[in-house]
């Protein structure tokens, strides 16, 4: 029985991971859970799965937890609590699904303690990809992709020679605004962007899909996960989200991984690979797939994708700056404080004014992160 810890257990990936555990109680044992502030759901999860250690956002919430969960479960809180649960349980694999840069430190500490990482927190590899992959190698740990696109590439490359790769093709649904003109986007609100056509995801990720920033982050992730130069990574809009990504080889062959848009499938594969477990998830009916659409992304309508390529190629602290600026801009849009097209303006201004630092330490990355957050807030004042 494989022991697992879930960082971000009350989010969409966390709850889907627990669904997988429910389907295979003989295969997985949950030993650690963390959440930010969804205490009601976390209480249910703790009472159902009986983990060794848990962490929640602050001391007050931790004290509330103590009154409603088994006494043998150890309770922690704050950043230190997440790190404790990530690094100091008997888990063999940690599902890293915390949203944002908050996932960087727990993921690094889990790697240093010798645990494999099922990586669903894309910001960790975007902001600190070089450091994280180096730490994984030094500790002989695996970084196993959970995003459906990276899981697809991972599966397509199983048993293949990396020298035979011609290019990676990362597919994108196009998000909620894929058929909208620029003039329309000026007036759209967060509730419009949250209507994703194919996937059920958290709010931040859904907004990132609408700007195509999520796809840009996935390009940076793919660069680090598969050690592939950016010149060999393409993005292709595929509205049906049936083909999750493809790999083209030097002989012209293309391998694709297909499946219904359900995150439990790549989660299950990440937890048990290379073996596959039977799942009662939605299956594709090929007789009903009359058409599959593909088109190149429109970088004039969605410049955030180009910003991500630019940041990845620049390297150093630039991806961390892009990630931090995007987190702030994304939240401001969700709160109705800026318009949809203001997101890209804030990212452009922040990246343009950043003094790039190459070969950054972890402290340098966090410093760049904090600089970018302040810079965005200053530029918002100029916008208004």
- For residue 200, CA distances in Å to 13, 203, 209, 280, 306 come to 10, 9, 12, 18, 25
Residues 131 and 44 occupy one common structural domain: yes
User: Phi and psi at residue 207, in whole multiples of 5°?
Assistant: -65, -40
- Examine the domain organization and report whether 110 and 251 are in the same domain: no
Could you identify the residue written with the tokens 């109680």?
25
Distance CA 56, CA 110 (A): 17
Are residues 176 and 128 part of one domain? Answer: no
- Shared domain check, 171 and 309: yes
Nearest to 37 by CA among 102, 124, 104: 102
Closest to 167 in 3D by CA, of 266, 50, 252, 71: 252
Cα separation of 306 and 299, whole Å?
Answer: 7
Cβ neighbours of residue 291 under 8 Å, at least 6 residues apart?
none
- When pLDDT is cut at 50, 70 and 90, the band that residue 248 belongs to is very high
The residue out of 112, 145, 178 marking a domain boundary is: 145
- In a domain? residue 285: no
Asked if 137 and 183 sit in the same domain, the reply is no
2-7 and 233-237: which strand pairing?
Answer: unpaired
Both tokens of residue 98?
Answer: 């915390």
Residue 230: the pLDDT is: 98
Establish if 36 belongs to a structural domain. yes
Both 232 and 342 in one domain: the answer is: yes
Are 169 and 25 found together in one domain? no
What whole-number percentage of the chain has pLDDT above 70?
98
Same domain, 73 and 131: yes
DSSP conformation letters of 124-163: HHHHHHHHHHHHHHHTT--EEE-SHHHHHHHHHTTT--GG
187 shares its domain with 56:
no
CATH number at residue 233: 1.10.1740.10
How many Cα neighbours within 13 Å face the side chain of 111? 25
Q: Are 69 and 92 in contact (CB under 8 A)?
A: no
The CATH code of the domain that includes 89 is: 3.40.50.720
Write b or e for each residue in 109-129: b if 16 or more Cβ atoms lie within 10 A of its Cβ, otherwise e.
bbbebebbbbbbbbbbbbbbb
Of 110, 145, 180, which residue is a domain's last? 145
The pair of structure tokens assigned to 30 is 């949950």
Work out the angle at residue 238's Cα, subtended by the Cα atoms of residues 341 and 333, and round it to the nearest 5 degrees.
20
pLDDT reported for residue 201: 61
Domain that holds residue 104: 2-145
Q: What is the pLDDT of residues 114-148, one digit of tens each?
A: 999 999 998 899 999 999 999 999 999 999 999 99
Q: What is the pLDDT of residue 345?
A: 95
pLDDT in tens, 168-203: 999 998 887 888 888 888 877 777 777 655 555 678
Residue 359: in which H helix or E strand, if any? none
What confidence score (pLDDT) does residue 180 get?
A: 83
Residue with tokens 């649960």: 85
28 shares its domain with 119: yes
Q: What is the mean pLDDT of the chain?
A: 93
Structural domain includes residue 101: yes
**H or E segment to which residue 120 belongs:** none
Kind and range of the H or E run holding 96? strand 93-96
**In this structure, are 228 and 330 located in the same domain?**
yes
Between the alpha carbon of residue 277 and those of residues 18, 26, 142, 264, the distances in Å are 15, 11, 20, 11
**Residue found under tokens 């459906």:** 148
- Asked if the structure places residue 154 within a domain, the reply is no
Give how far the C-alpha of residue 360 lies from the chain's centroid of Cα atoms, to the nearest Å. 22
Q: Determine the Cα–Cα distance for residues 154 and 285; give it in Å rounded to an integer.
A: 24
In sequence order, what are the beta bridge partners of 75? Answer: 54
Domain boundary among the residues 82, 110, 145 is at 145
Q: What is the total count of domains within the chain?
A: 2
* pLDDT tens digit sequence for 297-325: 999 999 999 999 999 999 999 999 999 99
Query: Do 130 and 218 lie in a common domain?
Result: no
What's the confidence (pLDDT) of residue 195?
Answer: 66
Torsion of CA 343, 7, 10, 33, to 10 degrees: -160
């Amino acid at each position: 029985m494989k022991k697992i810890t879930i960082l971000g257990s009350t989010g969409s990936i966390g709850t889907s991971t627990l669904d997988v555990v429910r389907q295979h109680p003989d295969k997985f044992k949950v030993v650690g859970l963390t959440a930010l502030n969804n205490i009601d759901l976390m209480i249910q999860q703790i009472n159902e799965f009986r983990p060794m250690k848990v962490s929640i956002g602050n001391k007050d919430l931790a004290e509330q937890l103590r009154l409603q969960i088994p006494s043998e479960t150890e309770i922690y809180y704050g950043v230190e609590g997440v790190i404790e649960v990530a690094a100091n349980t008997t888990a063999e694999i940690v599902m890293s699904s915390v949203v944002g840069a908050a996932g960087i430190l727990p993921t690094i500490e889990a790697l240093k303690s010798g645990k494999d990482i099922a990586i669903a927190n894309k910001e960790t590899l975007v902001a600190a990809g070089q450091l994280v992959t180096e730490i994984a190698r030094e500790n002989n740990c695996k970084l196993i992709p959970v995003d459906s696109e990276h899981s697809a590439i991972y599966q397509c490359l199983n048993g293949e020679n990396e020298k035979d790769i011609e290019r990676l093709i990362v597919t994108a649904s196009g998000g909620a605004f894929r058929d909208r003109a620029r003039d329309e986007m000026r007036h759209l609100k967060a509730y419009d962007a949250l209507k994703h056509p194919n996937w059920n995801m958290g709010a931040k990720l859904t907004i990132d899909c609408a700007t195509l920033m999520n796809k840009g982050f996935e390009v940076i992730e793919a660069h680090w996960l598969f050690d592939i130069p950016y010149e060999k990574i393409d993005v292709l809009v595929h509205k049906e989200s049936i083909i999750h990504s493809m790999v083209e080889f030097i002989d012209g062959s293309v391998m694709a991984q297909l499946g219904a848009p359900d995150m439990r499938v790549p989660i299950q594969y990440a937890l048990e690979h290379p073996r596959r477990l039977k799942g009662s998830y939605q299956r594709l009916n090929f007789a009903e797939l009359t058409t599959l659409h593909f088109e190149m992304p429109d970088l004039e309508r969605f410049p955030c994708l180009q910003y991500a390529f630019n940041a990845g190629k620049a390297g150093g602290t630039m991806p961390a700056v892009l990630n931090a600026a995007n987190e702030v801009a994304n939240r401001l849009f969700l709160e109705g404080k800026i318009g949809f097209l203001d997101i890209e303006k804030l990212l452009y201004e922040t990246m343009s004014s950043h003094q790039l630092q190459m070969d950054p330490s972890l402290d340098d990355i966090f410093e760049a992160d904090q600089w970018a957050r302040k810079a965005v807030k200053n530029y918002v004042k100029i916008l208004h």
